[in-house]
């Protein structure tokens, strides 16, 4: 079974609208972390937001928020007031365990295109 599932290969969104990128995960480890990364065409991986399995509140970082529904094992990324610069690939990733030595498993990504 896939550990991280992103079901939206591509999305087109009008500038200034909000967009939700879906991510579901599968793990039996009670300690895990969920990450969202943005990858523009240049290739670098830009960290956006993190949600820990024990966090009581949904994470927020500026225009990014994470809709964490633990029982459903979903961690959707919400981008508010989208901008042209938000056009990129977006990857959801999971770390099983909380240590720095733990590896990340990535989803297949969603290509977001913002339309002016």
Q: What are phi and psi for residue 85, nearest 5 degrees?
A: -70, -5
Nearer to another protein, 57 or 116 (CB): 57
The two tokens of residue 59 are 């994470």
- Give me the 44-83 binding string for another protein, x by CB under 8 A, dash otherwise: xx-x--x-x-------------------------------
- What is the spatial distance between Cα 3 and Cα 16, in angstroms, rounded to a whole number? 32
Q: Are the C-beta atoms of 46 and 55 separated by less than 8 Å?
A: no
Q: What is the largest CA-CA distance in the chain?
A: 42
User: Is residue 5 close enough to count as binding another protein by CB under 8 A?
Assistant: no
The two tokens of residue 111 are 């290509």
Q: Which of 30, 43, 62, 116 binds another protein (CB under 8 A)?
A: 43
Stretch that binds another protein, among 22-30, 62-70, 74-82, 97-105 (CB under 8 A): 97-105
Residues near another protein (CB under 8 A) are: 33, 35, 37, 42-45, 47, 50, 52, 91, 98-101, 103-109
């Amino acid at each position: 079974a896939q550990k991280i599932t992103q079901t939206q290969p591509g999305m087109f969104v009008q500038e200034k609208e909000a967009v939700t990128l879906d991510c579901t995960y599968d793990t039996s480890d009670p300690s895990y972390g969920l990450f969202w990364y943005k990858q523009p065409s240049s290739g670098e991986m830009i960290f956006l937001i993190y949600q820990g399995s024990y966090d009581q509140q949904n994470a927020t970082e500026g225009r990014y928020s994470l809709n964490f529904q633990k029982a459903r094992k979903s961690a959707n990324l919400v981008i508010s007031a989208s901008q042209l610069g938000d056009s990129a690939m977006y990857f959801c990733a999971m770390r099983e365990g909380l240590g720095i030595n733990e590896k990340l498993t990535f989803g297949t990504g969603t290509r977001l295109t913002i339309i002016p």
